[in-house]
Amino acid sequence: MKYSQLDIVDINRIIFISNEKQPSLFKQLCIFFAQLFYYTFVIHFRYKALPSIYKGIVFFGVSINNQRSLDPIIEHLGEGEYLYLKNHKTDVNKRRAYWLSLPYLPALLKTYRKADAATKPLIKKYFTRLWATYGFYQIAKEYLEHYQVKVLVVSSDQGEFHRCLLLRAKELGIKSIYVQHASVAKGFPKLIASYSFLDGQESFDKYLFAGQPDGEVYLSGGVRFDPIFQKYKPKAIEKVSTIGIAINMLDDFGEVKRLCQFLLNHKFKLVLRPHPRYGGINKTWLEENAICYSDPKAESSFDFISHIDLMISNESSIHLDAAMMKCPSVVYNFSTHPILDHYSYIKTGLVKVANSEEQLLASLMYPLGALPSTETLQFYNASCGTPNEGMLGEVISVFINGLSKDSHSLFDDRFGFQKVNDYLHKCNTYETIG
């Protein structure tokens, strides 16, 4: 098939769109060529040649959150058994991807002209990403063939290169594994990996909206939660003294400052933590008001939560991290957008929502009322209360090793999984959570 005939929108499976004004196509073209210049004359000189000969297991995860789901697995593999691609600047030849994409501008413009009313705004907003995908699709095949990959492991199914790697692996008959790294929402793409290791039933239910998975699915629990049981002591908070405030890209920092002042007036100690991609933090203002700062690039979410008594955040998957650490957590809106409960945290009772400062203050006076039930935790994280809790890195590493050697048939019996239909494996052993 000619690359110009690729269904570039389907490859990306982009379904989310914000309400803000869409950029013009001219602006998108300027952005693409600016990125082309950047990757050609700046970033490419950081690109390092990877091993010329390699056969085996390849991990791909280029964000901090991706790596926090892959690292616990890699710790249990021997040196030389895997190749770890984790730096999008040095491990991915973006210069080549962008140059390969150049000839396909007419194909993308044709796709835009023929798109329906719902798809056109998506193409317009993500134009540069879609255009670059033509090149990423080609180099994904080059990577897989060059390294003679036996098993591909990724911890995201959203990024354009992640998607291209998974689709190309399927075309080439290479076994692929997807390890969930964060909460998901309705509208996420269909599971296309050979094997997917998901947090729990809640995540699986949402993925099913996109259709039956192409491969097999394990409701294993979140491997990123392993450090909780290895490093931190369970919380038993009855009185709130220190409050953590986690913010993301949707939040208005003016609203954040206003709430901080309200809490400071009530004599609470505060720790502010932005999302890794959040910009524009006024650290001088934080210092002037004796507000501590949690650097997301230097401190894990679990380290942050371990130092606080209660967390406040808008819609964010960090609420699940707090719940797993038995830390009370409250949803509070710092933005001009309404709370949509994308992750269903409010609907299922994982967290409480405060619609006013008065409601928030009430939650602070009775923090135990903000904790979810054991059943809710198990719905989100299937390993809760099972022998696999806290050791999923080791569990999944055994599966990967076995898969690379075609000797994984006894995995289910060894780790307490039961295949309940053609594609779904559930953990069939629960212990009492203390």
| Percent of the chain with pLDDT strictly greater than 70 | 94
pLDDT, average across residues 317-324: 94
Output the pLDDT for position 432. Answer: 39
Residue 247: what residue type?
I
Output the pLDDT for position 48. Answer: 66
pLDDT, average across residues 35-61: 80
DSSP-derived 3-state class of residue 105 = helix
Output the pLDDT for position 79. Answer: 81
Output the pLDDT for position 54. Answer: 67
**C-alpha dist (Å) from residue 379 to 157, 181, 231, 288, 374:** 21, 16, 23, 42, 9
1 vs 154, more confident: 154
Residue with tokens 């309200």: 262
DSSP-derived 3-state class of residue 394 = helix
pLDDT, average across residues 71-84: 91
Output the pLDDT for position 380. Answer: 95
pLDDT at residue 133 is higher than 50? yes
In 3D space, the residue among 68, 70, 50 whose CA is nearest the CA of residue 60 turns out to be 70
Half-sphere exposure of 69 (CA within 13 A, CB side): 25
Per-domain residue ranges of the chain = 3-222, 229-379
Question: What value does the mean pLDDT of the chain take?
Answer: 90
Q: pLDDT digit string (tens) for 187-235?
A: 889 999 999 999 999 999 999 999 999 999 999 999 999 999 888 877 7
Domains 3-222 and 229-379 share a fold: yes
DSSP H or E segment with residue 426: strand 424-427
CA 216 to chain centre: 20
DSSP lists the bridge partners of residue 242 as 269
Q: pLDDT digit string (tens) for 228-252?
A: 988 887 777 778 999 999 999 889 9
pLDDT, average across residues 298-320: 95
Q: Report phi then psi at 54, rounded to 5.
A: -155, 135
CATH class for the region spanning 229-379: alpha beta
User: What is the reported pTM?
Assistant: 0.88
β-strands 417-419, 424-427: how paired? antiparallel
Q: Which fold has domain 3-222?
A: Rossmann fold (3.40.50)
Q: pLDDT digit string (tens) for 332-348?
A: 999 988 998 988 999 99
